[in-house]
Amino acid sequence: MTPTPASAVGSTLTSAAHGAGTDQPAIEVRDVGISFGGVRALDRVDLAISPGEVYGLIGPNGAGKSTLVNVIAGVYRKHDGIVMFGGNEVTSASVGKRAKLGLSRTFQSPALFRTLTIRENLVMAQRLRRRLRRQLDDDAEAWLGELIDRVGIEPWLDVPVMHTPYPVQKVADVVRALFTVPSVLLVDEPAAGLPKHDRDTLVGLLREARDRMGMAVLLIEHDVPLVFGLCDRLTVLNFGEIVAVGTPDEVRNHPEVRRAYLGVDS
């Protein structure tokens, strides 16, 4: 792949209005349940995330968080209940179909092509966006074009991913996802393994992405203060069941959450 000049990584994006409606949830699951080998991994789970909302999904290891995200992403399609995307049912739709509809995802381990440079990974994301004809207004477009300099990955643009520091890969992976201009972004433990400075960078990036691009963000994260400080609402899972739903303050003060998850006696 021929590298694009650093100044052009953001400038090739076209400007216009981002055509997402706000009258219905960006993503919704209703009465979802799934079992593996007789073990009930999710049991009658409901979740609805609005455009422009950062929604947290927390719970102990094995609570069903990644399973629910895999249901939303289309990795698991043989389950009870339904999945809605922008008001349309996508329960039987493939991972690729959901991606074309506007779903993007990051993983705990960065999903970049390791033999390509950071720049080449970002250019690929831009080309995908152009094929899908996803557009933004002028202000969001300008913000997206400035991201590389602002998040500190510019010195690493022409280095193969495999030779870049892990924090650079984590930040670049989120930038890659944003360059596709999704309407829904699923983010799996973005702060895992990062020092405080890089955690703060990612938190600011996700907050600004919500404000500038109007996307819905579903965040899985074990850093509880980070989640409570960033998310508009949260769902707490335990053993595949919903324990609590609400604002950070409502969840923080829920007696069962305090006992089972936060380790505090109510």
Question: In this predicted structure, what is the pLDDT of residue 8?
Answer: 46
Tokens describing residue 42: 């999710």
Confidence check: pLDDT of 18 > 60:
no
C-alpha–C-alpha distance, residues 203 and 221, integer Å? 11
64-92 residue pLDDT tens: 999 999 999 999 999 999 999 998 999 99
Contacts within 8 Å (CB) and 24+ apart, 87-91: 87/21, 87/24, 87/25
Average pLDDT of the segment spanning 216-224: 92
Mean pLDDT of the chain: 87
Work out the pLDDT band at 14, boundaries 50, 70, 90: very low
Q: Which residues pair with 39 in a beta bridge?
A: 36
Work out the pLDDT band at 260, boundaries 50, 70, 90: low
Q: Is the Cβ–Cβ distance between 68 and 237 less than 8 Å?
A: yes
Which residues lie below 8 Å from residue 45, measured CB to CB, with a gap of 6+? 29, 31, 32, 33, 64, 68, 81, 237, 240, 241, 242
Q: Is the Cβ–Cβ distance between 66 and 75 less than 8 Å?
A: no
Work out the pLDDT band at 222, boundaries 50, 70, 90: confident
C-alpha–C-alpha distance, residues 224 and 121, integer Å? 31
111-164 residue pLDDT tens: 899 999 999 999 999 998 888 888 888 888 888 888 898 898 999 999 999 999
Q: Which domains does the chain have, with CATH numbers?
A: 6-260 (3.40.50.300)
Tell me which DSSP letter residue 161 carries.
G
158-195 residue pLDDT tens: 999 999 999 999 999 999 999 999 999 999 988 888 88
Question: In this predicted structure, what is the pLDDT of residue 1?
Answer: 40
